[in-house]
A and B are shown apart, each in its own frame.
Chain A
């Protein structure tokens, strides 16, 4: 199986834009969809992006997802940062009947 590697932490100021990367260790990032989950402290995860770049209803369009085959990575971009976006973010993908999570990225909005 492959691994998904995320930066441990990122920080940015309110109103700014931040991008969180998720690099696949082997196999093509484009082979399987990538999802992104937000987990606020003390809460269960919720989906912010599914199928690489789709937003569930209720998720603001400040959240967007993309994949880059040249770097074999997926990215979650959050624009117009708000303090409520401060959370842990996890990417997730699939490989032959196994589901894989990245290690998570702690986003600090300061």
Chain B
């Protein structure tokens, strides 16, 4: 079974750093890109960026460029999303998703989500 399992919920203070993870299993991790998607409370889905685990090439939505970093460790089939200095506005659910299909691709499956709460 293809699965993406994300790390658990986090509660952080503004200014703190954070890295959340997404571990793939049941498929060749380096054969599919991984994207990260944000969902703020009560809001819709926003594509943040993606990584090709085979060479760690990334590209980001302009809305998130410079605010987050996406990385991957193919030796342990895990992708990461990290912040160097969190803000209260980073409070959201974050999903990773495997991209399938050709160049355009679509997202399947999705991880279960990691809830990040940033509050003083």
Q: Once the chains bind, are A94 and B105 in contact (CB under 8 Å)?
A: yes
Residues of chain A lying within 8 A (CB to CB) of residue B47: 98-101
Q: Once the chains bind, are A99 and B108 in contact (CB under 8 Å)?
A: no
SS class, residues of chain A in contact with chain B: strand
B90-120 residues with Cβ-Cβ distance < 8 A to A are 95, 97, 101, 104-113
Q: Once the chains bind, are B110 and A44 in contact (CB under 8 Å)?
A: yes
Residues of chain B lying within 8 A (CB to CB) of residue A97: 59
Residues of chain A lying within 8 A (CB to CB) of residue B107: 35, 37, 45, 47, 92, 99
Q: Does B46 make an interface contact (CB < 8 A)?
A: yes
In the bound complex, how far is the Cα of B29 from the Cα of A77, in angstroms?
34
Chain A residues close to B by CB (< 8 Å): 32-33, 35, 37, 39, 44-47, 50-51, 56, 88, 90, 92-94, 97-104
Residues of chain A lying within 8 A (CB to CB) of residue B59: 97-98
Residues of chain A lying within 8 A (CB to CB) of residue B66: none
Q: Which of A37, A44, A50, A101 contacts B101 (CB under 8 A)? A: A50
With A98-B61, A99-B35 as contacts: A47 and B106 at CB distance below 8 Å:
yes
Q: Which of A32, A50, A94, A104 contacts B44 (CB under 8 A)? A: A104
Residue of A nearest to B108 (CB): A47
In the bound complex, how far is the Cα of B101 from the Cα of A51, in angstroms?
9
With A90-B44, A98-B47 as contacts: A33 and B108 at CB distance below 8 Å:
no
Residue of B nearest to A102 (CB): B44
Closest CB in chain B relative to A28 CB, distance in Å: 14
In the bound complex, how far is the Cα of B105 from the Cα of A51, in angstroms?
9
Q: Which of B95, B101, B105 contacts A45 (CB under 8 A)? A: B95
